[in-house]
Each structure stands twice: as C-alpha cells, then as structure tokens.
C-alpha cells in the first residue's frame, strides 16, 4: 500500500519539471493541483512567473487542467481570468476527476501527468488511476485547516518510505 504514495518524480517546483522530457515520453496533458502547487493556497491570482510557465506549456502544445479539491468559487476565481480549464470539488484521491480531466483534454491517461504537492490527495490519486505523478514542494509553508491534518499524516508516510528505502530523496 505504501508504494501508492511514491511519486514518479519529485521536484522543487513546477518550474523544475523538464517539459522536453515529458514531450519525449509522449505526454500531451498536464493535470495539476492548484493550492500550494501552482500558487499559495490563499493567493487569488496567478503570478507572472506562473503565467509565463503556463504560456510555455501552451506554446509547446500541452493541454492543462486544474483538478482541485477546493470549492468552485475559489478555483473559478483563479482559473477563469486566464482561460484555464478546471475541475473543482474533485474528491481526490478518488480517480474520477483525473479521468474526467483526460476526457476534457481528449487524451489517454498514458498521455498525461498529475502534478501536486500532497501525497494523500494528488500523488495517491494519480498513482491509483495509473498516471505518471510528479510531487512538488508546497509553494507556501502554511496550509488551510484540512491540509494541515493531511500534512501530519504525510510526514509519517515520508518517514516510513525513507525507513523502508523506498525513496532516495529528502522531503524539503
């Protein structure tokens, strides 16, 4: 069971993901979490750096869908001004929203990756659904109340994975 929590990649931020390597692997779609993956959980709008990254993805031919457990108002407020497709109230780690994101992009799951900052929602959900998963360091050191609970469990999972030799990198 613990292996379902192990991401395929672990990078400091979305900006450290090698887009060329993804293209070489046949990846055409990005399914990404919002809060503490793209921006701080309490930031209402995208940063200039994020908008440049999203534009680069578009220029390289990638589709992007935000899949968030947050409510419609939060995700719409962030995504709509930038024309981003999104799924709110996703109920991650259940796989239904990940599959729906692929349908929105008209892609097979082998053509998409899941990016997120949480083992218990993004990585577990992506792995359970058979996606390539990429864990990023949370953008902010703080979290909303529900995420704080998840983080405490996540720390135990990280320690267990490290003890069992299942990961070689350190949680930042």
- Residue-range domains of the chain with CATH: 2-163 (3.40.50.1000)
Q: Evaluate if residue 39 carries a pLDDT over 70.
A: yes
What's the per-residue H, E or C state across 74-114?
Answer: HHHHHHHHHCCEEECCCCCCCCHHHHHHHHHHCCCHHHEEE
Q: Which residue has the higher pLDDT, 12 or 148?
A: 12
**Residue 168, pLDDT score:** 64
Q: Evaluate if residue 36 carries a pLDDT over 60.
A: yes
Q: Evaluate if residue 93 carries a pLDDT over 90.
A: yes
CA-CA-CA-CA torsion for 164, 167, 169, 170, nearest 10 degrees? Answer: -50
Q: Which residue has the higher pLDDT, 1 or 119?
A: 119
Neighbours of 82 (CB within 10 A): 14
Q: What is the mean pLDDT of the chain?
A: 89
> What distance in Å separates the CA atoms of residue 133 and residue 122, rounded to the nearest whole number?
8
Read off the pLDDT of each residue in 148-166 and give the average, rounded to a whole number.
70
**Residue 156, pLDDT score:** 75
Give yes or no for a contact between 132 and 25, defined as CB atoms under 8 angstroms apart. Answer: yes
- When mean pLDDT is compared across 65-69, 120-124, 148-152, the lowest value belongs to 148-152
> What distance in Å separates the CA atoms of residue 52 and residue 59, rounded to the nearest whole number?
10
């Amino acid at each position: 069971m613990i292996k379902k929590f192990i991401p395929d990649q672990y990078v400091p931020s979305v900006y450290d993901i090698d887009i060329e390597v993804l293209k070489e692997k046949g990846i055409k779609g990005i399914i990404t979490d919002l809060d503490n993956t793209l921006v701080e959980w309490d930031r209402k709008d995208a940063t200039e750096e994020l908008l440049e990254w999203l534009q680069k993805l578009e220029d390289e031919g990638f589709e992007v869908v935000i899949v968030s457990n947050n409510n419609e108002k939060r995700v719409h407020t962030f995504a709509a001004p930038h024309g981003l497709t999104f799924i709110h109230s996703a109920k991650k780690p259940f796989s239904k929203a990940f599959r729906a994101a692929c349908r929105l992009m008209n892609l097979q799951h082998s053509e998409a990756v899941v990016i997120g900052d949480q083992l218990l929602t993004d990585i577990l959900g992506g792995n359970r659904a058979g996606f390539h998963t990429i864990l990023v360091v949370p953008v902010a050191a703080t979290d909303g109340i529900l995420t704080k609970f998840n983080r405490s469990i996540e720390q135990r999972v990280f320690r267990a994975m490290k003890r069992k030799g299942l990961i070689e990198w350190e949680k930042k």
